[in-house]
Structure 1
Amino acid sequence: MTASVEYSVDHGHVELLPIHFDDLDSMGLVHNCRYGVLVERALNTFWTSHGWTFDGGTYSHPDVFLAVAEFAISYRTPFRGTGAMAVHLWIDQFSGSSAVYGFRCLSRDGQTVHAEGRRVHIRIDPKTLRPTAWADDTRSVMKLIARPSD
């Protein structure tokens, strides 16, 4: 989607994503399971723009190999019909092998919070399938969207 959001944020990254007819439930609202997909797409778009991809089934960087350890979401206000939803992403904390993302699914103008939550990623070694440390260049990109500490 080439359109932009109508506001800015003081931390993190905002991705504007289309809502299609097949994202809706029988009442014409975005189906609850689609919010997780929208967060996934926003994360994928952000990291792809920085060179971390899975194009053609090949990882462009070892840190693309990760597991989601936790996904929590609270639904606030239904999103009705098609159009565009803004997904605001940030990192609350990252350490050795983990990263804790925060997110909000918002109206295009940022005035309405449709859902919010957190998602935890664990960097996994593809050979041992055990947690392993993030690379320095990944940590540098994480800092770009990290929430400032108080």
Structure 2
Amino acid sequence: MTGQEIPENDDRTATTRPDGPESTVPQGHVEPVFAHFDDLDAMGFVHNSRYAVFLEHALTAFWARQGFTFTDGAYSRPDVFLAVAEFAVSYRAPIRGIGEVGVHFWITRLTGSTAEYAFRVLSADGRTVHAEGRRVHVRIDPGTLRPTPWTPEFHTVAKTLL
């Protein structure tokens, strides 16, 4: 497998920095994550289940920097209480070993209580798409466990990912 090369005219293509994944994108955000030895399968490829974890780590790091955290059993903001309603991933090229990769994500749809993310797991140089997919979050009311609208604070940050 050679991987899916990103065409130069792809509207998701971004400039790359020499020491890591792409850092500037026209939409969304790229968060660097590290593939560790224990992420590998018996063939030395990153195991398919780890791509979901890479996205989880990337989203958690991004939102934590915006003040949306979970610490000592408490949510910093009500929007942190959410459920993943859907997750889909398509694998394009294996990650063959340890090292930094980039998780590029952006919000494709934002409704009252739902945020749909698209994502790509990229090589360290930002040129190869290892996987791509989507994940849907639903904000949940902790008391009723029913969907509830996002707060204005969430919308302010989410708009930077649209």
| 4+ residue runs over 3 A deviation | none
| RMSD between aligned residues | 1.0
| Equivalent in the alignment of 1:120 | 136
Q: CA deviation at 1:4?
A: 4.5
Of 75, 80, 92, 2:108 maps to 92
Q: Distance in 2 between matches of 1:6 and 1:71?
A: 24
Question: Any conservation in 2 of the 1:19–1:85 contact (CA below 8 Å)?
Answer: yes
Question: Any conservation in 2 of the 1:12–1:89 contact (CA below 8 Å)?
Answer: yes
Is the strand fraction higher in 1 or 2?
A: 2
CA 73–16 in structure 1, closer or farther in 2 if over 3 Å, else same: same
* Identical positions, percent: 59
Is the helix fraction higher in 1 or 2?
A: 1
Of 44, 50, 71, 2:66 maps to 50
Q: What TM-score results when the alignment is normalised by the length of structure 2?
A: 0.86
| Equivalent in the alignment of 2:99 | 83
SS at match of 2:72: helix
Aligned amino acid, residue 126 of structure 2: G
Deviation by residue 1:38-67 (Cα, 9 ceiling, x = unmatched): 000000001000000001221000110000
Of 38, 52, 56, 1:36 maps to 52
Q: Distance in 1 between matches of 2:139 and 2:22?
A: 34
Q: CA deviation at 1:8?
A: 2.4
Aligned amino acid, residue 144 of structure 1: T
